Every structure is written in C-alpha cells, then in structure tokens.
Amino acid sequence: MEKEVIRIVDIVKNFKIGTVIVEALRSVSMVIKKNEFVAIMGPSGSGKSTMMNILGCLDTPTSGSYFLNDEDVSKMDDNSLAEIRNRQIGFVFQTFNLLPRSTALENVMLPLIYAGVSKGRRIERATEVLDEVKLSDRMAHKPNELSGGQRQRVAIARALVNNPAIILADEPTGNLDSKTSLEILGLLEEIHKMGNTVIIVTHEEDIALHAHRIIRLMDGKISSDEINNHVKTIADYNLVPQDN
C-alpha cells in the first residue's frame, strides 16, 4: 500500500475582513497517498484556493494539523515553510510565473539555487527536466520567445527539478487554448505515470476528469471525495496535441 504524502486533520482557516470573520475552510480532513492523481474542485468561494495555499505551504491554518510526509507543517514559521516548499512541492500556476529576463534553463534552475546545489549540477539537472518536457531545443529562449504551451512546460520542468513529493497545479490550463491544454494535461499524465503525486486545483469539470480521484469543496467543506471511474486521457480525444 502506498504511503501517505498528505494528511490534513480538522483544518480551519478564517479570514478577518473588517469586523467580519469569513470561514474559508471548516474542519476539513483528508489523506492523499503517494502517486495519486487528485483534482480539487469547487466554484468560486468554495475554499479551493485557500486549500491550495495551505497544501502548498503558502499559508497556515487557523487551527488543525497538516502532515506532509509525516512532518507537521501546520505550525512552522515562514522560513521553515519556505524550505519545505522548495524541497517538497513543485508548483505549476495558471500564469506560469516565469522570470521574463531569464532563459528557460535559468528559470528551471532557480529552485536549485535556493537549495544550494552546485552550478554544474544545476545546469545538468535543469537540462534533464527540460528534455523530459520536450524543450531541449528551447533552453536558451526567454519567456517572450515561447508560446503559452512552451511557457507552461518550462513551469512544469521547474516544478519537477527538485524531485518534489507533490506537484501542485493551480488551474494549469486556464490561460491556454484547447489544443495546448490537452498537451499540458498529457504531460501531467506522464508525470503521474513516472510515480509523482499530482494535485490539480480547478473549477473545470473536463480538466478534473483527467484525475483519478475528485474532491469537491462547497462552502469551505468537502462535499464529496470519490474515485473517478471514468478517467479521461488525451488518447480519448480525436485531436492529437502538437508542439506549440
């Protein structure tokens, strides 16, 4: 049986807006195991963005516990959380979040700089993952010289470079056309097949159906948590994704 990567227990997150307390998450508990492919779904205001921020160690809960690889990260300070993020979590954002004046190779190397990896090894490892996402011929290009799909592949390579415990993708196809979205979903499928734990946060049903498990949030609580018995793959589409 696969080991637990994530365990959250009775997570509550409140925000104070003026004199009003907003309950973004209300006593949420769940477990995600190694090599699961999970979608977290919900409409605007459901709590999914707050959930992503807590899972990604970008924020801490008001109360409750969060164990990432058996380490309680819910009470860590900002510096410890930053170290955990860099070591164990690979982020893929809707807006790519690439440094505009840096090449694809330099963008992918960035987490390794924070991790204190030597320059030679940084170049070697970043080159490896850019090759994995089929961008070895674009390593010297800056983001404005790349298509949207290529920029997202650079972002995925950057997410993979530290061999993280989880890949956390926030609306990863939100800024892409349908053909390029399929290309990125196909890449996430491949990453999952290689043994990575993949979590997609999305409001789109079509995107969520590529995951093997779908967790739905409503009003700050889990409304359903089900195995997806009708997993979509890019092979199900007549459209064959092409390099963009």
DSSP secondary structure string for all residues of 20-38: EEEEEEEEEEEEEETT-EE
Question: What is the pairing mode between strands 166-170 and 197-202?
Answer: parallel
Measuring CA to CA, which residue among 150, 190, 185, 187 is closest to residue 171? 185
The pLDDT, as a whole number, for residue 238 is: 66
Residue 230 to residue 138: CA distance in whole angstroms: 36
The pLDDT, as a whole number, for residue 93 is: 86
pLDDT at 63 exceeding the cut of 50: yes
The pLDDT, as a whole number, for residue 239 is: 53
pLDDT at 6 exceeding the cut of 90: yes
pLDDT at 135 exceeding the cut of 90: yes
Higher pLDDT, 108 or 114: 108
Q: State the average pLDDT for the chain.
A: 91
- For 18-27, 138-147, 151-160, 232-241, which range has the lowest pLDDT when averaged over its residues? 232-241
Sign of the C-alpha dihedral computed for residues 97, 102, 106 and 111 taken in this order: negative
Q: What is the DSSP letter of 113?
A: H
Band (pLDDT 50/70/90 cuts) for residue 81 is very high
Measuring CA to CA, which residue among 209, 3, 142 is closest to residue 150? 142
pLDDT at 200 exceeding the cut of 90: yes
Cα separation values, 155 from 212, 218, 231, Å = 23, 29, 25
- CATH no., domain 4-236: 3.40.50.300
Burial (CB < 10 A; 0-12, 13-18, 19+), residue 195, is exposed
pLDDT at 243 exceeding the cut of 60: no
Q: What is the DSSP letter of 137?
A: G
Average pLDDT over residues 135-144: 94
CB 25 within 8 A of CB 45: no
The pLDDT, as a whole number, for residue 241 is: 44
Higher pLDDT, 240 or 227: 227
Band (pLDDT 50/70/90 cuts) for residue 244 is very low
